[in-house]
């Protein structure tokens, strides 16, 4: 009997281990690691020489050695991603009937209508309502953290349009659920719909969409014209409204539930950024729909493929799949990425390389958006025998909410005045800013508050508890968002991420301390790489950007002569790193230009965003600065977009981001030019060229890789170039570094 049932079992998903990549990755790691050991031996042997046998000062040698060790440690951590990369395939056509599928809640978070265009946000809402899933089992929640009347009114307009759009998508089986994309694309969406009926329906729907956009823009314009002096985004009551409750006519087609949620905010309470808003959604949605699975979306990340729900259920509905899978993560993909992608907006390394390897060793962490998560993983599982007071200490004083945890609570929103009013009153209590006082929300329950990267820390904690995750990367992007297209926004975004990750790295929750014995050592290294990435990269890159150059400026050699066999160690390490990164870019669909841009933006981030993000954490630990969260600007500026499409850097950002870049470039120019002059004037005195080749090449490589900064300083004169006062200020800094650094190091 058991054999018969096994024969009938058909898998809903398959995991493919990339054996070729494993062999290449491990072979390269082994050879590269041996070269690093030779480098360490070479550096250490210096300290055992007799002082009379060397003229090189100890301090610069020690500092460059530390920089090399830190960069080697960063490299070692990244090998965990390359240890066992996997890819996955799903078979949604094998899923059970619709009536057997579990319900899903969709959380869409928005925080600032000025930085997140309302038309884009509503397109995300509409695309979520059009997901290819039984409508009675789909519930969409819009979290408005600003409590803006604009977002509420626009959500009502989106609902009115969705009542026509969703049936249109289902009738004609559209695979583009986002109306803005559908009507702006010249490609045929699906099927052979050339008949007059379809054309007429499409034309009518396009007219309705134009009306929707006009109404949304009118609402936004009225708000910006009249202002809202009485409204404060940090001081407002909670508002929860079931939008389709107010439908004036009966819909022919069943529609998903749409709920607007704005939590209460008061200046006297810490609101815990995005994680706080998500936990309010968790509580409110439990009372209204209580679906066992949740899809988390950023407000600009529309559903590009309506079948993502069914693809995810291939894991949750497969009887042979372990019940320990907490979440299914889809990649973050973007629709406005240009061919050059000069700011690495698509986060290529993480999404196309690292996360496949992360998946192979236990699963990736939560990545901000585009993931389906099991509610039980966030809230836990409880029985009726559980002590009521213990549950209240963890989850808060609401008896109604506790009932949803210990009973088989399956609410169905009733469209009558009294029932809906009572339910929303209970939900409003859960959205109050004081509800979480003296509870475990944010520390043990729900999304965690410890740092501004709540996704990383929550995912890490779930894995530590024994949960698993999977990374699903279909050929067609399931979700498409808007990436940053200028240097200012990308720098702010990465600074925020760096701050959150560093705060974990230097805390009691450091993966190397908090993770051992709770997860595999390879997965632990993946989490450690993320946590320590900003610190390791900024410290090592600042060392490589200044120490060899100061020594070059003062005729002090830190590398072997070209004729010395030890020079091969550095040559092999450099070429090995370059070729491996180039190989990975090309094999994941990139070009040599893509590789060049990735390498450049990594260096630029290391001395700016990573540096300031790490500095923020130090100040925060000293009590000199509070953690902050600035939403990424999603407004597309035509001028910025044009420069981005042309592959031209837009340097219109704060001086704090520009000054370090320009200072590094000026120091390298000074050191390199002086070395060239000495070499020419003194006719290669004492083998200067051979002795200093390593440092000259390093400066030359930095200058060539960051030529765009030199161009922005000297050649360009447009509005997006580097201002003259920044260059002059950086010139003062570089002279100071050359003088003081030379006095100290040499």
Provide the annotated active-site residues: 145, 455
Binding-site members are 115-116, 145, 274, 298
Q: Which residues contact 628 (CB under 8 A, 6 or more apart)?
A: 452
Q: How far is CA 111 from the centre of its chain?
A: 17
Binding-site members for UDP-alpha-D-glucose are 115-116, 145
- Closest by CA to 180, choosing from 216, 222, 150, is 216
> Tokens representing 652?
């219109």
Question: Taking CA 371 as the corner, what is the angle to CA 365 and CA 372, rounded to the nearest 5 degrees?
Answer: 115
Neighbours of 563 (CB within 10 A): 10
Per residue in 424-452, is it b (16+ CB within 10 Å) or e — as a string? bebbbbbbbbebbeebebbeebbbbbbbb
> Tokens representing 474?
């279909």
- Closest by CA to 629, choosing from 532, 499, 455, is 499
How large is the greatest C-alpha to C-alpha distance in the chain, in angstroms?
Answer: 94
Burial (CB count within 10 angstroms: exposed 0-12, middle 13-18, buried 19+), residue 156: middle
Burial (CB count within 10 angstroms: exposed 0-12, middle 13-18, buried 19+), residue 208: middle
Question: Taking CA 312 as the corner, what is the angle to CA 589 and CA 585, rounded to the nearest 5 degrees?
Answer: 15
DSSP 475: S
Neighbours of 124 (CB within 10 A): 28
Look at residue 298 and give its three-state secondary structure.
strand
Distance CA 492, CA 486 (A): 10
Distance CA 628, CA 608 (A): 17
Look at residue 666 and give its three-state secondary structure.
helix
Per the CB < 8 A criterion, the answer to whether 296 and 373 are in contact is yes
Per the CB < 8 A criterion, the answer to whether 741 and 63 are in contact is no
Distance CA 205, CA 709 (A): 48
Burial (CB count within 10 angstroms: exposed 0-12, middle 13-18, buried 19+), residue 496: buried
Q: Which residues contact 146 (CB under 8 A, 6 or more apart)?
A: 110, 111, 112, 113, 233, 262
- Closest by CA to 557, choosing from 675, 460, 449, 651, is 675
Binding-site members for Mn(2+) are 274, 298
Distance CA 172, CA 208 (A): 17
Distance CA 281, CA 159 (A): 19
Per residue in 615-645, is it b (16+ CB within 10 Å) or e — as a string? bbbeebeeeeeebeeebbbbeeeeebeebbe
Residue 352, phi-psi category: left (phi > 0), alpha (psi -120 to 50), beta (remainder): alpha
Q: Which residues contact 124 (CB under 8 A, 6 or more apart)?
A: 108, 178, 297, 298, 299, 300, 301, 302, 303
- Closest by CA to 374, choosing from 480, 258, 468, is 468
DSSP E strands in 150-304: the ranges are 239-242, 257-262, 293-298, 302-303
**CA dihedral sign, ordered 277, 280, 282, 287:** negative
Q: Bridge partners of 373?
A: 294, 327
């Amino acid at each position: 009997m058991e054999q018969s049932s096994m024969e009938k079992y058909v898998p809903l998903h398959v995991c493919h281990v990339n054996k070729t990549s494993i062999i290449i990755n491990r072979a390269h790691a082994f050879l590269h690691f041996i070269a690093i050991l030779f480098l360490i031996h070479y550096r250490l042997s210096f300290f055992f020489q007799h002082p009379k046998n060397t003229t090189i000062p100890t301090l610069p040698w020690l500092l460059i050695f530390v920089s090399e060790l830190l960069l080697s440690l960063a490299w070692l951590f990244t090998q965990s991603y390359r240890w066992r990369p996997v890819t996955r395939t799903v078979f949604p056509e094998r899923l059970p009937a619709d009536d057997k599928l579990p319900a899903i809640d969709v959380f869409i978070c928005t925080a600032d209508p000025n930085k997140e265009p309302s038309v884009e946000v509503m397109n995300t809402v509409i695309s979520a309502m059009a997901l290819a899933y039984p409508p009675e089992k789909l519930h969409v929640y819009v979290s408005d953290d600003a409590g803006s009347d604009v977002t509420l009114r626009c959500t009502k307009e989106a609902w009115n349009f969705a009542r026509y759009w969703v049936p249109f998508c289902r009738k004609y089986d559209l695979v583009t659920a986002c109306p803005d994309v559908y009507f702006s694309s010249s490609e045929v969406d699906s099927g052979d719909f050339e008949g007059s009926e379809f054309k007429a329906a499409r034309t009518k729907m396009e007219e309705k969409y134009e009306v929707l956009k006009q109404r949304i823009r009118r609402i936004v314009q009225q708000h910006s014209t009249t202002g809202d002096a009485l409204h404060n985004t940090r001081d407002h009551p909670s508002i929860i409204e079931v939008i389709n409750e107010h439908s004036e006519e009966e819909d022919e087609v069943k529609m998903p539930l749409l709920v607007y949620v704005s939590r209460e905010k008061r200046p006297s309470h810490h609101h815990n950024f995005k994680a706080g808003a998500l936990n309010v959604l968790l509580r409110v949605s439990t009372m209204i729909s209580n679906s066992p699975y949740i899809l988390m979306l950023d407000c600009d990340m529309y559903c590009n493929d309506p079948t993502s729900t069914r693809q995810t259920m291939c894991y949750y509905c497969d009887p042979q799949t372990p019940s320990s899978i907490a979440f299914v993560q889809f990649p973050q993909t973007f629709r406005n990425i240009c061919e050059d992608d000069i700011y690495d907006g698509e986060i290529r390394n993480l999404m196309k390389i690292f996360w496949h390897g992360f998946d192979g060793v236990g699963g990736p962490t939560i990545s901000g958006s585009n993931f389906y998560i099991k509610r039980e993983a966030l809230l836990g599982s409880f029985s009726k025998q559980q002590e009521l007071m213990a549950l209240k200490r963890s989850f808060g004083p609401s008896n109604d909410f506790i009932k949803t945890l210990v009973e088989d609570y399956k609410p169905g929103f009733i469209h009558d005045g009294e029932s809906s009013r009572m339910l929303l009153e209970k939900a409003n209590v859960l959205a109050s800013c004081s509800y979480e006082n003296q509870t475990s929300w944010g520390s043990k329950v729900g999304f965690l508050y410890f740092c501004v990267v709540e996704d990383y820390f929550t995912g890490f904690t779930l894995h530590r508890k024994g949960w698993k995750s999977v990374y699903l990367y279909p050929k067609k992007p399931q979700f498409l968002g808007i990436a940053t297209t200028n240097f200012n926004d990308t720098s702010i975004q990465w600074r925020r991420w760096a701050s959150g990750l560093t705060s974990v790295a230097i805390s009691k929750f450091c993966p190397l301390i908090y993770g051992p014995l709770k997860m595999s050592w390879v997965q632990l290294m993946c989490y450690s790489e993320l946590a320590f990435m900003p610190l390791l990269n900024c410290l090592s890159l600042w060392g490589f950007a200044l120490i060899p150059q100061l020594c070059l400026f003062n005729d002090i050699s830190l590398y072997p002569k070209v004729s010395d066999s030890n020079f091969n160690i550095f040559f092999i390490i450099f070429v090995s790193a370059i070729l491996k990164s180039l190989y990975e870019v090309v094999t994941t669909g990139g070009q040599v230009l893509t590789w060049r841009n990735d390498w450049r933006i990594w260096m630029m981030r290391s001395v700016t965003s990573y540096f300031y993000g790490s500095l923020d954490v130090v100040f925060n630990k000293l009590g000199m600065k509070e953690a902050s969260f600035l939403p990424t600007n999603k407004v597309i500026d035509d001028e910025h977009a044009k420069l981005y499409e042309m592959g031209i850097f837009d340097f219109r950002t704060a001086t704090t981001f520009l000054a370090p870049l320009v200072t590094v470039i000026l120091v390298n120019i000074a050191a390199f030019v002086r070395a060239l002059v000495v070499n020419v004037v003194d006719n290669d005195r004492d083998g200067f060229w051979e002795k200093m080749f390593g440092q000259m090449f390093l400066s030359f490589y930095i200058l060539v890789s960051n030529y765009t900064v030199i161009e922005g300083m000297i050649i360009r004169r447009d509005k997006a170039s580097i201002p003259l006062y920044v260059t002059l200020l950086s010139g003062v800094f570089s002279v100071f570094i050359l003088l003081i650094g030379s006095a100290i190091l040499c």
